[in-house]
Amino acid sequence: MKSLSALFLVLCISAACSLPPEKPFTKDQLYKTGIYTYFTVEDSPESVLSAINKDGEVVLNAKYRNRDVWIKLLGKLEGITVQIIEK
């Protein structure tokens, strides 16, 4: 019973971790998210693509108008998803 509980815990933890995508994302897919159009992002597109293709996710410091925000990009099978979080 303890081993079953431990296995379940390990599966839950590993499911919460982000994984690199099977197929690397391209600049076109990154630009389709609109983050470089609507936000002032400090990081270059190349460094963002490198991070998302390596880790499966990236969190960026950005500005929207005069507000500081974080942008979380997740690499999923259907594409890159964007979450905006106010600081």
- Residue 41 domain-assigned (yes or no): yes
Report pLDDT digits (tens) over 55-67. Answer: 999 999 999 999 9
Number of structural domains in the chain? 1
CB neighbours of residue 52 within 10 Å: 22
Cα angle 33, 24, 78 (rounded to 5 degrees) comes to 50
Which residue has better confidence, 3 or 70?
70
Cβ-based neighbours of 5, under 8 Å, separated by 6 or more: none
- Confidence category of residue 1, pLDDT binned at 50, 70, 90: low
What are the start-end ranges of the H helices in the chain? 2-16, 27-32, 35-38, 45-55
- Residue 12 domain-assigned (yes or no): no
Q: Which domain holds residue 48?
A: 18-86
